[in-house]
Amino acid sequence: MKFEKLFSNMRIDSLTLKNRIIFPPISTNLASITGEVTDEFIAHYSRRAKGGAALITVENACIDFPLTMMGATQPRFDNERFVPGLSRLVEEIHKYGSLAFVELTHPGLFGKELPAIAPSEVDLRLDGIKPHPMSREEIEKVALKFAKAAFIAKKAGFDGVEIEAAHGLLVNQFLSPVSNKRTDEYGGTLENRTRFAKLLIDKIKEFCGRDYPVMARVGVVDYVNGGIKPEYDGVEIVRKFEELGYAAVHADIGFGDKEKRLEPMAYKQAWRSNLAKLLKDGGIKIPVIAVGMIREPEIAESLLKNGVADLVALGRTLIADPDWPLKALYGKEKTIRKCIGCSECIRSRHAMGTAIRCGVNPVVGKSSGYEKITPSSISKHIVIIGAGPAGLEAARVAALKGHRVTIFEQEKEIGGAVRLGSVPPGKEKMQWLINYYSEVLKELEVNVRTTTTADIETVIRENPDEIVLAMGAEPFIPAIEGIDGPNVVLYSNVLDEKVALQKGERVVIGGGGLVGCETALYLATKGCEVTIVEMLPEVAKDMEPISRNYLLRELKEHNIKILTSSRIIKISESSLNIKKTDGMEIELDLDIFVAAFGEKPRKFEKVDAPVPIHIIGDMTRVGKIVEAIRDGYAIGFNL
């Protein structure tokens, strides 16, 4: 077996896991607004079980509605009337041989319901509101809520519970000196700061029995001044958790920027595994779980073989491809649809407050029926023009339905906008998506014809039964004096290396959207002197906030100048004239002007064909990968 360690059994307390893969808690907004599990909620978790994960951890549960609510919706574990629905969920997870846990959590000082409560009155909220410091009676009351939630979990059939003691939430707030300023038995020394964690497990064991497993997600490092240091109190906190009877721990992050736990694409694989290694090197005996951007089975296996961790948590990894474990087990790892870190799941849940969705997996958050691709009663010949993400996904699904599929692509490689998007620094993981489609389309015997421009006559000669137009978008070029000059180039030609720019050249990027900013970063790493000119007050304004902040920091570190609220008036061979919204006019020196004003749906001639024609992806409206793949799946599903 190639990944022998990954697929070996593992004990957690009284439980035996069939492999070393855990699906950690990730909020979904799939519960109902009143806290019941929905069919989509059950389908989401049972699908990760069906894919082969040994242990499924249901997302952060609400233990005291509405006081502890987080996010748009949460599953409720504060009343026994929710047990019937929860038991349905557990049965679906158990059906596939997986164990079921649930994460119990309390937001503490970050609670939406005011007054929020916390160990101490500290100024850590962005809105400046200080929490109410908990009395001993309130501490006991909250511990009781945790215990009752655990009892409900056990009654519903869950095999154990996990305590959220990371991410700056209540239990973490007791552990960290940043938020715990108490002078009583719950503050000061490490012994005292872990006393609340002791109270929780003692109460849970009292309600659920001494043999009921309790794990913890522990913040072993704070990325803020005066916080937990992993090599010192981080290891000792976990050692105390071990003494208290916790069955296993996730080595995770406490206080700090969300970027450290909801990492943008550029972060290195498994970068957080060093926290697990510190615990193992520190002599922790209970199972230690490594978490954070573990995307490939080779990486997971190396962490386990080298003693970095005992288990691996695959969160966004199994959102993107729930069959990751089975594919790795049976030697099909090349067909894994890897999470590329596009942050669409983060944007949907945290920024938009909608149900979870995934940039590369179009069925995430949908009902189980939408994933069931049944063979078509009539096998057709489907011709697709364009091998970007929409066309590739349409081809994949159509082939799964039993159709014969031909793709025409004018470039020498597939991928379309994804291929270009993989060029800027930190975007290399996007190539994973292209590799995935290359592999699965080959297995499905899809006829991919690259370097082929397909006009309607060429397509009709193929005798298609249906045609799918997926030719993407085309550049939007505003009416600016000099825009057709010899020193004006398209961003796509820059990223495609059809235009070679020299080190030291003064480059102005017209357009501060995502492509403009990433092209600027690419050119800065090549040694160009880069300025971005954007008409709006902000650049990259439509990005997911965490990834946007990371990108803005990169632009600053590479000394890229940004001029916002600026309209380009004229481009000449050596200069650029702009006008600010306040009326100020500025002239910039330049050698090259790069047009990155965005895209518009590609124009196409009215086609008079004897077969149905479908238009998908950016040809209908310019969007992101998530919309393109969604469109591709939808048309493939319905062909």
What is the number of alpha carbons within 13 Å of residue 179 lying toward its C-beta?
Answer: 31
The CA-CA-CA angle for residues 338, 259, 190, to 5°, reads 115
pLDDT of res. 141:
98
Residue 132 has pLDDT above 80, yes or no: yes
pLDDT of res. 424:
96
Residue type, 248: A
Confidence of residue 456 (pLDDT cuts 50, 70, 90): confident
Tell me how far apart the alpha carbons of residues 383 and 453 are, in angstroms, rounded to a whole number: 13
pLDDT of res. 1:
83
The listed CATH number (3.30.1360.120, 3.20.20.70, 3.40.50.1820, 3.40.50.920) that belongs to domain 10-369: 3.20.20.70
pLDDT tens digits along 573-619: 999 999 999 999 999 999 999 999 999 999 877 667 789 999 999 99
Residues facing residue 104 across a β-bridge? 61, 163
Residue 82 has pLDDT above 70, yes or no: yes
Strands of the sheet with 529-533, listed across from one edge:
488-490, 592-595, 506-510, 529-533, 561-563
pLDDT tens digits along 484-530: 999 999 999 999 999 989 999 999 999 999 999 999 999 999 999 99
pLDDT of res. 448:
97
pLDDT of res. 296:
98
φ, ψ for residue 534, nearest 5 deg = -130, 135
Buried b (16+ CB within 10 A) or exposed e, 125-134: eeeeeebeeb
Residues of the chain with pLDDT > 90, as a percent, come to 95
Confidence of residue 404 (pLDDT cuts 50, 70, 90): very high
Asked whether the beta carbons of 578 and 588 are under 8 A apart, the reply is: yes
pLDDT tens digits along 283-328: 999 999 999 999 999 999 999 999 999 999 999 999 999 999 999 9
Q: Per CATH, is 373-475+603-638 categorized as 3.30.365.10?
A: no
H helix and E strand count, the chain: 20, 27
The listed CATH number (1.10.3470.10, 1.20.120.330, 1.10.10.10, 3.50.50.60) that belongs to domain 488-597: 3.50.50.60
Residue 454 has pLDDT above 90, yes or no: no
Tell me how far apart the alpha carbons of residues 160 and 384 are, in angstroms, rounded to a whole number: 49
pLDDT of res. 542:
87
Residue 379 has pLDDT above 90, yes or no: yes
Which of 370, 355, 342 shows the shortest CA–CA distance to 634?
370
pLDDT tens digits along 231-262: 889 999 999 999 999 999 999 999 999 999 99
Q: Where are the domains of the chain?
A: 10-369, 373-475+603-638, 488-597
Average pLDDT over residues 474-483: 95
Mean pLDDT of the chain: 96
pLDDT of res. 491:
96
Tell me how far apart the alpha carbons of residues 482 and 476 are, in angstroms, rounded to a whole number: 15
Residue 536 has pLDDT above 80, yes or no: yes
Tell me how far apart the alpha carbons of residues 419 and 414 are, in angstroms, rounded to a whole number: 7
Average pLDDT over residues 374-402: 97
